[in-house]
Amino acid sequence: MDSAQMLVALGAILFVLGLAGAVVRRNLLVVLMCLELMLNGVNVELVTFSRLHGSTAGGVLVFLVFVVAAAELAVAIPIVLLLVRHKKTLDADAFKDLKG
């Protein structure tokens, strides 16, 4: 198994870990962290394939993902903060009544 294959496998593992965490964990902060894990799994894949093909496009896309992820967190964390202030808990199930 060469290094490229290992890097692809690492990215996939990171993504699946993040996905599993986002689906099963109830703590909102952990869910957010898991989301980041998934994004970074994808990033690893992007740089790996970028190197394999000798193209910089994948590397550039990674920076875009960074920016979007940062922006997303900047919005998501305050929302979580406000929700927690309202219900005094981080449990996602406590917010079921927000459904339309």
Partner 1 sequence: MPWLGLIVALPLLGFALNGALGRRLGKRFVSAVGCGLPIASALIALRCFLALLETGAPISETAFTWAVIGDRAFEVSFWFDRLSAVMALVVTGVGSLIHVYSIGYMKNDGSYARYFAFLNLFLFFMLLLVLGRSMLVLFVGWEGVGLASYLLIGFWFEDPAKAKAGKKAFITNRVGDGAFLLGMFILYGALGTLDMVRINEAFLAGPVPAVSATVIGLLLFAGATGKSAQIPLYVWLPDAMAGPTPVSALIHAATMVTAGVYMVARLNGVYLQAPDAAQVIASVGAATALLAATIAVAQYDIKKVLAYSTISQLGFMFLALGVGATGFAVFHLMTHAFFKACLFLGAGSVIHALGGEQDIRKMGGLWRRIPVTFATFLIATAAIAGIPGLAGFWSKDEILLYAFGSSEGGAVLLWATGAFTALLTSFYMFRLVWLTFFGRSRMSHEVEHHVHESPISMTGVLAVLALLSIVGGFIHVPHFLEPVLPIPALTAAGEDAEGALMGISIAIALTGLALAWFFFSNGGARAEGARRALSPLHGFLANRWYVDELYELLIIRPLHWISDRVFLRIGDRLLIDGALHGLASLARRGAHAFSLVQTGNLHLYALLALLGGALLLALRWLNG
Q: Which residues bind partner 1 (CB under 8 A)?
A: 19, 22-24, 26, 31, 92-93, 95-100
Contact 46, 59 (CB under 8 A): yes
Q: What is the dihedral of CA 84, 90, 96, 100, to 10 degrees?
A: 40
As measured in angstroms, the least distance from the Cβ of 25 to partner 1 is 8
The Cα 57–Cα 54 span in angstroms is: 9
Give the shortest CB-92-to-partner 1 separation in angstroms. 4
Q: Which is nearer to partner 1, 25 or 51 (CB)?
A: 25
| Contact call for residues 94 and 83 (beta carbons, < 8 A) | no
Q: Report the residue number, 22 or 59, with the smaller CB distance to partner 1.
A: 22
Residue 85 or 96: the one with the smaller Cβ distance to partner 1 is 96
Shortest separation between residue 100's beta carbon and partner 1, angstroms: 6
Smallest separation, CB 18 to partner 1 (Å): 11
